[in-house]
């Protein structure tokens, strides 16, 4: 749960920073739902990536583990 909250927090800051770099006219034209959706998608990607990185490595079928 903490990993998901942290991932969404990081995603929020990244999207907020990207939106801040846009010109004012473009920033005003963006709907709030688009920004929120980007946060959710990026947050999910961060959480999935962190879980994959933390998962223990398993040997591939048909191959023996190196000793």
- Cα torsion for 6, 26, 33, 15, to the nearest 10°? -10
Extents of the domains making up the chain: 2-49
Q: Is the dihedral of CA 30, 34, 40, 46 positive or negative?
A: negative
Q: What is the pLDDT of residues 8-40, one digit of tens each?
A: 777 778 888 888 888 888 888 888 888 778 877
- Is the pLDDT confidence value at 5 over 80? no
Q: What is the pLDDT of residues 40-52, one digit of tens each?
A: 788 788 778 777 7
pLDDT band at 64 (very low <50, low <70, confident <90, very high): low
For residue 2, the model assigns a pLDDT of 67
For residue 19, the model assigns a pLDDT of 82
DSSP sequence for 6-45? HHHHHHHHHHHHHHHHS-HHHHHHS-HHHHHHHHHHHHHH
């Amino acid at each position: 749960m903490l990993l998901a909250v942290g991932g969404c927090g990081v995603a929020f800051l990244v999207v907020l920073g990207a939106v801040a770099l846009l010109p004012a006219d473009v920033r005003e034209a963006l709907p709030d739902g688009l920004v929120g959706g980007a946060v959710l998608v990026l947050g999910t990607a961060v959480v999935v990536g962190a879980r994959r990185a933390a998962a223990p490595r398993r040997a591939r079928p048909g191959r023996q583990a190196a000793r």
